[in-house]
Chains A and B, each alone.
Chain A
Amino acid sequence: MTTRLTIEKVTKVFSDHPERALALLAAGASKDRVHAELGAVVALNGISLSVPAGAIYIIMGLSGSGKSTLARCVNRLIEPTAGRILLDGEDIVTASPQRLRELRRSRMSMVFQHFALLPHKSVVENVEFGLKLRGMPAPQRRKKAQEFLAIVGLEKWAGYRPVSLSGGMRQRVGLARALATDADLLIMDEAFSALDPLIRSEMQDELLQLQKLLHKTILFITHDFQEALKLGTRIAVLSDGAVVQEGAPQEIVLDPRNDYVAAFTRDVDRARLFDAASVMLPAAPIVIGADGALSIPPRMEGRQAFVIDGGGRFLGAIAASDAASLRGKDPGALSLPREAAIPMKAKLIEVARALNAAEQLAVTDEDGRLVGCIRGEQVLARIGGRPSAAPPAAR
């Protein structure tokens, strides 16, 4: 996957003389020491991240962790003190004012926590705002704005002022405004934090739907770990202006690096987060070749065995005692019960439901090949949150 945005050792110091603070930081001083000695506030301390194209990349942290500052450094609403921010290889930090304006107009856009709509403009005028700044002729930008209003389901509200809209609808306008410029990098600063829980969840689902359609690169800032897990392709956890941990959602929950991260993961609904692939064990199936040649593993666990053909395709389950009866059969004509299989992307909650009916489950990939098996104890160990109890199977 190509990298769209690279953040390299970005530091932000709020001070009249940031050079001295930078020198002190470079010498290994802590944030607190810099503040005590110089009175300078270090908001970001040498942050490095790389955001893949097409990802929803979550910057997660509590208030004061520097997450909003980082987001604003990316489009330079806040000037970074040191470091480089590369958008497709081009350094944003050193861009000239003209170039920066071009980048803001066409390459990146932003969605704000409190929507930041313009109250004196109608909904459609708000959506076309970015296009107007760019100098697009009125009929053209109106047409485009209406398209994006339709995408977020607000075409009927085009002529209203933002005052007459609910919070969720206003943020849809904010989203449409950000999408209308065709920018491929979207910075969403706590975009859903000001919404009611129900509306928030709805907006999250909608963002995921839109993302399937539009494939933007989204830098999503949030303090809500559940939201981070739901939306994130990858998550960077920030604390005190530094990245504490970075990784895929499941990795972070499975192996929190320290107590700060662990505190977030404690209440996570693991049954809905983890998938079958993350807990499965290697399977020991019966292989039936194209010529009917049978290979039975020496030791079979349980009363049931899985059967695959020579290409690894899952054919079904059979009672272990009946294994020998398969000898000489044509794998194409075989009809075995297949209910005991589950796709590797299935969440543990679905696995648990399926396990009600079966003693163990076969895990299959997109092509129907057997990749592993799951028994109840693996699911329980993972949901119980004891990472050491079930080492993740190789994926």
Chain B
Amino acid sequence: MLSADDLYRVPVDDWVQFGVEWTALHLRPLFQAIKWPVEAVLRTIDGTLQAVPFPIFVILFALLAWRLATRGIAAFSAFSLVAIAFMGLWKPAITTISLITTAIAFCVVIGVPLGILCARSNAVWRIVRPVLDIMQTTPSFVYLVPVVMFFGVGTVPGEIAVVTAASPALIRFTNLGIRLVDKETIEAGLAFGATERQLLWEIQLPLALPTILGGLNQTVLTAMVMSVIIAMIGAEGLGLVVLQGIGRLDVGRAAIGGIAIVLLAMTLDRITQALANPEKKARGQLAQAVSRLFLGARRQDVGAPLMESK
């Protein structure tokens, strides 16, 4: 039988090996520069959150969930956290929350401006779009290869993989949200003499916000998934609990790790979904909460009753 190996073998693996080694050697300062801010933010957030006593954290988290979403979701959040705590997984769960929080911060800082850029320029979007396509179809597992090569193993390199995997959704949704803004509204802005910047802040971003928050939901869920997978390159957190359980054939430990991951994922999903779909909550309160979160607190609201009968 004729095998392809007998004819010719293209040494792609050798090329890649050489390329990666060369890059890792010569671009080391670049990777260090990338790693440094991620490490700083992650250490700060993890240190802070770990320092908060468990009951206070549960209360604060539930209050936040109540403010951003509904009372039901707040109750569910409190229940999840308490359940995780009493399964003895408090510390790894907080690490996972820190990983996700850090990822959100970096994704927003990178993703939203990039999304805006994509929405404004078709040329940029033509380049970014196939890159996002590749990133989103690549199994998250595959991200680990270059990350280990360039950044090494551990929690911080893992976090870089999380940010890389989670940011495409936010870029895509920001781009989409801005492009979907009603054409007549844009015309109104221009007709009254808005500059590009005014157009962005007064019209495009506020109207695209629900879509962007939809993207944030996707980003958070991807970050959640990735924060578990990076246990394979030695990152701490709930993923490590599961991995250790499997490694020691300790089914019970693997299972509680899994339960904790599901509870945490559902909590984060519900909260971010409620952010993206304001109808579920009284309009005024949510709009205020969101605008305070994302647009700064100084926006004055007229405070008149909305949808009141005549």
In the complex, are the beta carbons of A118 and B304 less than 8 A apart? Answer: no
Partner of B304, one of A75, A77, A117, A160: A160
Q: How far is the CA of A160 from the CA of B308 in the complex (A)?
A: 9
Interface residues of B in 172-191 (CB under 8 A from A): 182, 184-185, 187-191
**Complex interface: chain A residues within 8 A of B194 (CB):** 133
| A393 CB, nearest partner CB in chain B, Å | 44
Chain B nearest CB, measured from A142 CB (Å): 10
Contacts of B117 in A (CB 8 A): none
CB distance from B190 to the nearest CB of A (A): 6
Contact status B184-A116, CB under 8 Å: yes
Distance between Cα atoms of A128 and B203 in the complex (Å): 14
- In the complex, chain A residues whose CB is within 8 Å of the CB of B296: none
Q: Could you say which of A106-114, A199-207, A233-241 contacts chain B?
A: A106-114
* B294 interface hit (Cβ, 8 Å): no
B53 part of interface (Cβ distance < 8 Å): no
User: Cβ of A105 and Cβ of B304 under 8 Å apart?
Assistant: no
Instruction: Indicate whether A171 reaches chain B with its CB closer than 8 angstroms.
Output: no
Chain B residues in 8 Å Cβ range of A72: 187
Are A112 and B187 closer than 8 Å at their CB atoms? yes
A132 vs B190: C-alpha distance in the bound complex, in angstroms?
13
User: Are B192 and A116 within 8 A (Cβ)?
Assistant: no
Known: A159-B303, A160-B304. A116 touches B188 (CB 8 A): yes
Tell me, rounded to whole Å, the shortest Cβ–Cβ distance linking B12 to chain A. 42
Min Cβ gap B144→A in Å is: 41
Q: Which of A102, A122, A138 contacts B193 (CB 8 A)?
A: A102
Known: A120-B287, A124-B302. 11 other contacts (CB 8 A): A104-B192, A105-B193, A109-B192, A112-B187, A113-B184, A118-B203, A120-B206, A129-B188, A130-B192, A133-B202, A160-B306
Q: How far is the CA of A163 from the CA of B185 in the complex (A)?
A: 15
Residues of B contacting A77 with CB < 8 Å? 187, 190-191
CB neighbors of A among B289-310 (8 A): 300, 302-308
A72 to B186, CA, bound (A): 13
Tell me, in angstroms, the Cα distance from A29 to B286 when the chains sit together: 59
Which positions in B face A, CB cutoff 8 Å?
182, 184-185, 187-195, 198, 202-203, 206-207, 209, 283, 287, 300, 302-308
Tell me, yes or no, whether A125 is within 8 Å of chain B by CB: yes
Closest A residue to B182 by beta carbon equals A116
Q: Is the CB of B302 within 8 A of A133?
A: no
Give the contacting residue for A109; candidates B191, B198, B207; CB below 8 A.
Answer: B191
Give CA–CA (A164, B302) in the complex, Å: 15
**Given known A116-B187, A118-B185, contact A130–B193 (CB-CB < 8 A):** yes
A108 to B189, CA, bound (A): 13
Task: Answer yes or no: A354 CB below 8 A from chain B CBs.
Answer: no
User: CA of A161 to CA of B302 in the docked complex: distance in angstroms?
Assistant: 10
Asked if B191 and A110 sit within 8 Å, CB to CB, the answer is yes
Q: Can you pick out 27 interface pairs between chain A and chain B where the beta carbons lie within 8 Å of each other? A: A77-B191, A101-B193, A104-B190, A104-B193, A108-B191, A109-B191, A110-B187, A112-B184, A112-B188, A114-B184, A116-B185, A118-B202, A119-B207, A120-B207, A124-B302, A125-B302, A129-B202, A130-B192, A132-B202, A133-B189, A133-B194, A138-B300, A158-B302, A158-B304, A159-B303, A160-B304, A177-B192
Which chain B positions have C-beta within 8 A of A181? 192
| A-B residue pair count with CB separations less than 8 angstroms | 82
Query: Residue of B at shortest CB range from A110?
Result: B191
A181 CA / B193 CA spacing, docked (Å): 11
Output the nearest chain B residue to A108 by Cβ-Cβ distance.
Answer: B191
Q: Which residue of A lies closest to B183 (CB)?
A: A116
Which residues of chain A come closer than 8 Å to B189, judged between CB atoms? 133
Nearest CB to that of A103 among chain B residues? Answer: B193
Contacts of B307 in A (CB 8 A): 163-164
Contact partner, A122, options B182, B191, B203, B302, Cβ 8 Å: B302
> Distance in Å from the Cβ of A147 to the closest Cβ of chain B?
17
A-chain residues with CB within 8 Å of residue B193 when the two chains form the complex: 101-106, 130, 133-134
* Residues in chain A near residue B300, CB distance under 8 A: 138
CB distance from B278 to the nearest CB of A (A): 10
Q: Which residues of chain A are near B182, meaning CB under 8 Å? A: 116
- Closest B residue to A177 by beta carbon equals B192
- Chain A residues with CB under 8 A of B209: 120
Residues of A within 8 A of B305 (CB): 159
Least CB distance from A245 to B in Å reads 28
Question: Which residues from B are CB-within-8-Å of A102?
Answer: 193
5 tightest A-B contacts by CB? Answer: A159-B304, A105-B193, A104-B193, A116-B188, A110-B191
Most chain A beta-carbon neighbours within 10 Å: one of B189, B191, B304: B191
In chain A, what residue has the closest Cβ to B284? A161
Tell me, in angstroms, the Cα distance from A201 to B182 when the chains sit together.
27
Query: In the complex, what residues of B have CB within 8 A of residue A134's CB?
Result: 193
